[in-house]
Amino acid sequence: MGKYISIVVLCFFVTIPVKAHNPNDISYFFRLDEKQLVIHLTPKSAIDLLEHMHPQLRNESQFSLHSYSMDFQSYFDGHVSLTIDRIPISMALIETQLDKHDGKLVFELVNVPNTVKDFELTISSFLGLYKKVKNYVFVHSNGVKHHYQLDNNRKHVLDSFQIPNNQYIISKIPFFAGGLALLFLSIGWVVYRIRKGVIKPSPTT
């Protein structure tokens, strides 16, 4: 009971940020340039997760969340899967901050290539804890950002940071069309001035 009272007191004094508002709202920031994954969650989310993994903790009046780093590592290893350009990306927990309402877990992403093209992502964490889960996912690479909302019905994402070839061709059509129009206008203007006698054609030898 004491652990829940401490959380209530903490929530009263701390301004609630957007990143982790409710226990069943989890945010995942994949910062591929920095090779990091930052998961934002509330301490209540972390407690519910550990009690789900270790039911005997429900009988404890208090316990230290930081003592269960290996459990967090193991859980998210099994519920967050990222593949980039067919390369499986592994995760290593390097930082745990769960003493504020907006808690976070920081993972180092291993094997991330310097240039990211295609990626495949599956997130199923907390689906076994809450009836309705909102996993907000942000994938950043080289100034480009992708945002997704995953939940009990959608757990998988397949996307790309590449510009499709047909999109590249379509984007170039106005440029080529404008160049051709300018060329024809220039030719027409020269022919018009020749006919008016303003410009005399060069004599042939």
Rounded-to-integer distance, Cα 121 and Cα 199, Å: 66
pLDDT per residue, tens digit, the chain (205 aa), is 444 434 433 333 333 334 556 999 999 999 999 999 999 999 999 999 999 999 999 998 888 898 999 999 999 999 999 999 999 999 999 999 998 888 999 999 999 999 999 999 999 999 989 999 999 999 999 999 999 999 999 999 999 987 555 444 444 445 455 555 666 666 765 665 666 665 555 555 4
Q: Which parts of the chain fold into alpha helices (H)?
A: 2-13, 43-53, 69-79, 165-195
Q: Which residues pair with 158 in a beta bridge?
A: 120
Rounded-to-integer distance, Cα 61 and Cα 32, Å: 39
pLDDT score at 14: 35
Q: What is the CA radius of gyration of the chain?
A: 28
Assess contact for 156 and 162: CB atoms under 8 A: no
Rounded-to-integer distance, Cα 27 and Cα 149, Å: 9
Paired tokens of 20? 């982790």
Q: Which residues pair with 96 in a beta bridge?
A: 105
pLDDT score at 188: 65
**For 155-188, what is each residue's pLDDT tens digit?**
999 999 875 554 444 444 454 555 556 666 667 6
The amino acid at residue 186 is S
Paired tokens of 26? 């989890």
